Every structure is written in structure tokens, then in C-alpha cells.
Amino acid sequence: MNPSLATPIVVAGAYLIGSISFAVVVSKLFGLPDPHSYGSGNPGATNVLRTGNRAAAALTLAGDGIKGFVAVWLANRIGAWWGDASLATAGAAVAVFLGHVYPVFHRFAGGKGVATAGGVILALSWQLGLAVFALWIVAALAFRISSLAALIAAAAAPVLGFYFLGNRPEAWALFPISALLIWRHRVNIRKLLAGEERKIGH
């Protein structure tokens, strides 16, 4: 297949995969309210956890992470068929993240993207994934604030991406993902600056 036609198809497929909101799907399976209708209104694992159903929150977290991984992994494998795996993989990485944040199936009202970004990064490089996760853990233990740890990991991901991936499209794809993830946490940033962000365990 012509790469100029195949790559956009793969990228579009990744966006559709990202548009599947596991917070909504899992909530329906567990008979829980639509996550858009309570708490922060954010369809993610943290908001689902506000229902008190830990299993549903865990499944949401896993689903959102797995879809990011699967979309990038598939794009890499499919792209290799026509010798354009790097560009297809980078495009899918951005597209699946955009799908999660702005899902076409849910009126473009998506989550913040931490779990999906984690899945994307792990699919790009398991070493990169471990490095970013380790940074998140260190920041979470040091500051006891989940959102701050996510912001620190997001800011560092592109830099670490160049270290582990080199100057490749996949590394460059981390810049828009990181920027959008930080933007989606703008409310948390305001709370952090005001000293109002809740700490882990409180």
C-alpha cells in the first residue's frame, strides 16, 4: 500500500481507538453514573474512584493505558509493512492521545490523558516508559501530590524521549502530547499555585 495513503488511515484508526472512553464503558458495565455527571466531570480513573468502586477505577486506568499501548504497537507493526513504521508510530501516538482527550464518541469531552500517555510512552520504548514512571513515583513520594507528579513526568518525557529514542519522529511526538497533557491540568496548576491541591491520601 502507498505510505502516503496508509499512514493517514493508521493515524485515523488510532484516534478512533483513543476515542473509546473506558471510564464510560466500565461505568456502564458496573451500573455506575456517567463520569461526566459528577465530581470533576473528567472521564478518568480518578473520577470513577469517587464512586467508591475501586475495581471500576482500576479497570478504567488499565483500559485507558492499554488502548494507548495497543494503538502505537499496532501502528508500528503495520507501518513496518510498507517501510514507514517511524512516521506511522509517531502519528498514532499523537492521534490516540488526542482521541482520549477529545473523543468523537463522547462529544469531544475526554479525560486528562495520564494513563493513555503512559501506555503510549511504554509502547514507544519500555526503557522510556520505566524512566517516566520512575520519575512520577519519585515526584509523588517527594511532594505527595499526584497532579504535580504527573506534570513533572509530562514535562520531562520529551527530553527523556530524545535520550532513549534519538532524534526521530517518535521522540518529537512527545512534545504535543506533553503540552496537551499539561494544558489539561491547568485547573490543577491553578490549585497548586494557590496551595489548594489535595495531597495523596487526603
Domain range summary for the chain, segments of one domain joined by +: 3-194
Q: How confident is the model at residue 46 (pLDDT cuts 50, 70, 90)?
A: confident
What secondary structure, in 3-state letters, does 24-66 show?
HHHHHHCCCCCHHHCCCCCCCHHHHHCCCCHHHHHHHHHHHHH
- Residue 134 has what DSSP assignment? H
**H or E stretch covering 195:** none
User: Residue 25 and residue 78: Cα distance in Å, rounded?
Assistant: 27
What 44-47 contacts at long range (C-beta under 8 Å, 24+ apart), as own/partner pairs, is 44/111, 44/112, 44/114, 44/115, 45/115, 46/146, 47/23
- Average pLDDT of the residues in 84-104: 94
CA 52 to chain centre: 23
Measured distance between the N- and C-terminal CA atoms of the chain, rounded to whole angstroms: 54
The model's pLDDT over 104-145, given as tens digits with 9 standing for 90+, comes to: 998 898 999 999 999 999 999 999 999 999 999 999 999 988
Q: Write down the pLDDT at residue 5.
A: 73
Q: What does the block give as the cell for 107?
A: 462529544
- Average pLDDT of the residues in 71-96: 91
The model's pLDDT over 146-161, given as tens digits with 9 standing for 90+, comes to: 889 999 999 999 999 9
**Phi and psi angles of residue 11, each rounded to the nearest 5 degrees, phi first:** -65, -40
